[in-house]
Amino acid sequence: MIDDVKFRHYSLSEKYLLALDKYIQNLRYYPQPITKIQIQKPLFDICNESLQPIVDVLNTGPGFVIAERIPLEKYTLDESRIIYLLIGQCLSHPFAQDIKGTLLYDVKDTGQNVTEGARFSVTKAESSFHLDNSFGNTVPDFVGLLCIKVAKSGGQNPLISAYSLHNELREQFSPHVLETLYQPFYLDRRRQFKMGESSTSYNPIFQWDQAELTMRYMYYYIQVGHQRAGQWIRIKRKT
């Protein structure tokens, strides 16, 4: 159960925190731009040992963990970002989140508007359940957030399991419901495309490769995607 505290909260080991601190101390003498930060084998080995329980929960458990005990008060904002990036490199391979090649960005209201093509994460608009980068060529193995300041109010993040949703749809509804969701839909790409490329992507909501389930979903992006493509959302039932 995701409500079980042991699945939701995990404290990073003292050994790992000391290794991260040593890395940051070294950067203070030999600074590098964050885009050049690459985890080295000694730290990676310590990371693997410390984060293995987290990886296990992410891959075979509820898929959600709160990692605690990162003493951000000791570090500058940029150093905190580097620590976050290093943890991400331990878990998987970070990839660019936009056409500019941005690896990390702040989730906050920047005054942009969703109706003008902005992503929800840089506006004050409330988003619905979704999968990050649903419109992209690549969907992430894991998604992480680093909390720099606790919100005075709000800031809750409801979560739902894509596997549980898929199986509930299979068990509670007629077969054509899932068949429909295995068909491709247009998703608006939120201005993340180069000249000459389509402003929409075209992918099914659910995909199964005989080993893993992949889900791409953001209801608003699907609505806008079909408008841009000039296509009604049509349901094709298999006969």
**Interval 198-219: pLDDT, tens:** 999 999 999 999 999 999 999 9
Concatenated DSSP letters of 110-139: -S--GGGT--GGGSSPPP-SB-TTTTSSS-
Domain ranges of the chain: 5-94, 101-239
Q: What is the mean pLDDT of the chain?
A: 90
> Could you tell me if 19 and 46 are in contact, meaning their C-beta atoms sit under 8 angstroms apart?
yes
Q: Which residue has the higher pLDDT, 234 or 64?
A: 64
**Strand 9-11 versus strand 66-68 pairing type:** parallel
> Could you tell me if 113 and 124 are in contact, meaning their C-beta atoms sit under 8 angstroms apart?
no
| Averaged pLDDT for residues 72-91 | 95
One-letter identity of residue 63: G
pLDDT score for 34: 87
> Residue 184 forms beta bridges with which residues?
204
> In this predicted structure, which of 102-116, 162-176, 177-191 has the lowest mean pLDDT?
102-116
Structural element, H or E, at residue 213: strand 213-215
- Global pTM reads 0.87
Asked if residue 3 has pLDDT above 60, the reply is: no
pLDDT score for 156: 78
Question: Over the stretch 173-184, which tens digit does the pLDDT of each residue have?
Answer: 999 999 999 999
pLDDT score for 222: 96
For the record, the structure tokens of 2 come out as 């995701």
Structural element, H or E, at residue 206: strand 206-208
Q: Which residue has the higher pLDDT, 30 or 157?
A: 30
Q: Is 41 exposed, middle or buried (0-12, 13-18, 19+ CB in 10 A)?
A: exposed
pLDDT score for 163: 93
pLDDT score for 1: 44
For the record, the structure tokens of 26 come out as 């070294």
C-alpha dihedral sign at 124, 126, 88, 138: negative
> Could you tell me if 60 and 9 are in contact, meaning their C-beta atoms sit under 8 angstroms apart?
no
pLDDT score for 233: 78
pLDDT score for 237: 58
Asked if residue 105 has pLDDT above 70, the reply is: yes
Q: Is 87 exposed, middle or buried (0-12, 13-18, 19+ CB in 10 A)?
A: buried
Q: What percent of the chain is modeled with pLDDT above 90?
A: 66
Asked if residue 168 has pLDDT above 90, the reply is: yes
In whole angstroms, what separates CA 236 from the centre of its chain?
30
In whole angstroms, what separates CA 204 from the centre of its chain?
18
Question: Over the stretch 32-54, which tens digit does the pLDDT of each residue have?
Answer: 988 889 999 999 999 999 999 99
